[in-house]
Homo-oligomer: A and B are copies of this chain.
Amino acid sequence: MSPLVAHDGRESADAPQLAKRILLGEPLTTQQVDDQLLPKRMALPIFASDALSSVAYGPQEMLMIMLIGGTALLTLSPWVAAAVVVLLIVVVLSYRQIIRAYPSGGGDFEVAQRNLGEVPSVIVAAALLVDYILTVSVSIASGVDNIISAVPQLAGVRVELAVGFVALIVIVNLRGVREASAVFAIPTYVFIGSVVVMIGTALVRMLLGDAPVAASAAYTVHAESLGQAAVVLLILRAFSSGCSALTGVEAVSNGVPAFRTPKIRNAKTTLTLMGSIAAVLFAGLTAVALVSGVHYAENPCDLVGFDCTSPQPSLMAQVAAATFGAGSIPFFLIQAATACVLLLAANTAFNGFPLLGSVLAREGYAPKALNTRGDRLVFSNGMLVLGLAAAVVLVVFQANLTSLIQLYIIGVFVSFSLGQIGMVRHWRRILRGGAGVAPQDADGGRRSARIGLAVNSAGAVMTVAVLLIVTVTKFAHGAWMVFFAIPVLALLMLGVKRYYRDVEQEIALDDTTHFGSTGDVAIVLVSRLQKPVIKALDYAIAARHEKTIAVHIALTPEDGEELQRQWRQHGIPVPLVIVDSPYRTFARPVEQFILRYRERHGPSVVTVYLPQYIVGHWWEKLLHNRRARRIAAQLMLVHGVTITLVPWLLDSSELIYGRRSRPLPGQQRAGRPVADEGRSGDRR
């Protein structure tokens, strides 16, 4: 017996099961869910890694776009950066309201559902799902970028690296939230710390008149002179790219249930903390990058003086090199921390996506399978779906950050906007009816509701505005794919919902449901007279059906006669009927036999006994033709027929399942088992 079968209350283990255990650890009981709750110090890294890590590419992509307008335009960058930071603050404040109003973890989806109705909520869900996938792709692409910036030799295996990391993160996450957080806490803190130190050092050096100078500061770019409109558009595009730093802010609001009590307070604090850190890092990095004169080009070959055959180092890498010197220990430390936190950012999605997926499944918008917790209490299926989707995206886009960024944050801002609009409605309703406000603190409630209304109104206006800007500036650059994907997904969800509802109605008890089927005949399908068939006959007899008939489908008359002979010879206590099958089919003749039987004996419930082989190794399946399976599938379509599968465990199954149908020599009554004769026969 494999050792794992011993564990109480688990699926009896087979080989894959065993592998699963080793990768994922021991299963947990439902009660243990509570012990999995997160303290703030753990929740921050888990839910914040996305928002924080995005500063690793946010400033880079922003300045990159500005550079298209030439070095002159870079001077406007601080204003763009400021706009992003302001937006960040507003969004954070708005989400504090959402956490307060809807702490169940539904986030924007729940808000939209409660306040805007089904369709908007499904759109929000679709948008979020798309964006979770892109979060994984973008974060990993950027992480690989930073690894390559430190170790250029790896430039050749960019995509392989990216996909490999996806796989790694999936596995780590399948082990469950708790361990995940533990693994992820350290690097996030290291990242925050080291980047803050870097920014500090750089600014101090600047004040001391020894400002760091980036390697790319020397490179010039030949910028085509742009008209007013073009410049404005470029600035807006830069802003949109910068906004990628806002992604992940919603993560906390979706994760409230995972917090330790007081959940709401803890979640809000974590969110504020995260927002402030993100703002500081974003502003700081942009500043240092501008000071040290980093020139990061969309197409490295536009950089006059740069050998564009080698990979272009990321902004983070250039700043680090400028501040601490390329190849210095702190340089590598920063690159490592950045890469880690980016890869871990992908992890945020692996908390959010399956959670949202399960919510959708529970509401009937997604396949039920997304709501079944795995052994480790995580929604395994959701994680696998996300991992697969992200891997595909990475391969399709060859893990190219700049082209992925084009699709990114549209989803986020779709859900931002709808979420905020929903909140505005929410507060309005409360102020109107006071619904959901306990009388005693009605005043406090009304005051805070007014605040909420103000905050979320501001949030709604800004996010909608940004959504428009992002759409206009990115649509042609690939964002159209997202605008295609979101409605398709939304429609699918609505379809699934409708399907489940129809099935529910189909199988719901009603006045047409009734007991009282009569007639009880068992049919044992017999191919050749062997142990599995005898076992089936034995069980059929044991079940004492009103009538038990053995049926043999004869492809040629000879088959039938031969079996008849053996049947008599062994004196089997069940009548044998031979049915000819000129077309070499099996199910159909049985069906006709059943119909003829019913004509004679009236309506009756028919139980068809089918011996079924259980094999040990996957390859054995190739050697047994699936006849039993096919027959069962066909007969299940016949009214009033049930299929009884009588398993026969071949000896090989003992290796895997620790069980077999054939008694071991010891357990046998008289005589040596035939098999041994056979084996000794071989030696001859």
A interface, CB within 8 angstroms of B: 9-12, 27, 29-31, 367-369, 372-373, 375, 496, 499-503, 505-520, 529-532, 534, 537-539, 541-546, 555-556, 570, 573, 581-585, 587-589, 591-592, 605, 607, 609, 612, 614, 620, 622-625, 632, 634, 636-639, 641-651, 653, 657, 659, 662-663, 668-671, 673-675, 678-679
Contacts and interface: CB of A to CB of B under 8 A. Distances in A.
Nearest to A653: B637
A529 B509 CA distance: 7
B542 A9 contact: no
Nearest to A643: B645
Contact of A507 (B511, B531, B591, B641): B531
B515 A537 contact: yes
B647 A644 contact: no
Contact of A368 (B31, B544, B582, B623): B623
A590 to B, nearest CB: 11
B542 A605 contact: yes
Given A505-B674, A632-B645, A10 B515 contact: no
So how many copies of this chain end up in the complex? 2
Q: Which 9 A-B pairs have the closest CB atoms?
A: A505-B678, A510-B674, A636-B647, A29-B582, A511-B671, A507-B530, A517-B542, A542-B605, A507-B531
A589 B639 CA distance: 31
A605 B543 contact: yes
Contact of A511 (B29, B367, B662, B669): B669
A543 B545 contact: yes
A621 to B, nearest CB: 10
A534 B509 contact: yes
A582 B9 contact: yes
Given A509-B570, A678-B505, A585 B637 contact: no
Contacts of A29: 582-583
21 contacts: A9-B588, A12-B637, A30-B556, A369-B622, A506-B650, A507-B531, A509-B534, A510-B674, A512-B663, A513-B531, A517-B538, A542-B605, A543-B543, A609-B642, A612-B636, A637-B653, A638-B659, A642-B644, A642-B645, A643-B645, A643-B647
A389 to B, nearest CB: 15
Given A375-B583, A605-B539, A625 B369 contact: yes
Contacts of A662: 506-507, 512
A650 B503 contact: yes
Given A518-B542, A531-B507, A673-B512, A12 B678 contact: no
B623 A668 contact: no
B534 A634 contact: no
Contacts of A675: 502, 505-506, 508, 510
A309 to B, nearest CB: 29
B644 A30 contact: no
A668 B512 CA distance: 6
Contacts of A648: 507
Contacts of A653: 637
A500 B623 CA distance: 8
Contacts of A542: 517-520, 605
Contacts of A502: 651, 675, 678
Nearest to A675: B505
Contacts of A541: 515, 517
Contacts of A31: 582
A119 to B, nearest CB: 15
Given A530-B508, A612-B636, A639-B659, A539 B517 contact: yes
A261 to B, nearest CB: 21
A607 to B, nearest CB: 6
A634 B544 contact: no
A586 to B, nearest CB: 9
Nearest to A605: B542
A524 to B, nearest CB: 12
A637 B642 contact: no
A502 B669 CA distance: 21
A334 to B, nearest CB: 43
Nearest to A659: B637
Contacts of A530: 507-509
Contacts of A636: 612, 614, 645, 647
Nearest to A375: B583
Contacts of A515: 534, 537-538, 541, 573
Contacts of A529: 509
B501 A678 contact: yes
A510 B671 contact: yes
Nearest to A522: B543
A426 B508 CA distance: 74
A126 B154 CA distance: 45
B623 A499 contact: yes
Contacts of A591: 12
A673 B509 CA distance: 9
Contacts of A638: 659
A539 B513 CA distance: 13
Nearest to A555: B30
A649 B609 CA distance: 20
Contacts of A649: 637
Contacts of A651: 502, 506
A511 B670 contact: yes
A634 B508 contact: no
A511 B659 CA distance: 21
A345 to B, nearest CB: 30
Nearest to A501: B678
A587 B10 CA distance: 9
A351 B359 CA distance: 56
Contacts of A612: 636
B625 A368 contact: yes
A648 to B, nearest CB: 7
A10 to B, nearest CB: 6
Contacts of A605: 539, 542-543
A575 to B, nearest CB: 15
Interface core residue of A581, A632, A637 (most chain B CB under 10 Å): A637
B373 A584 contact: yes
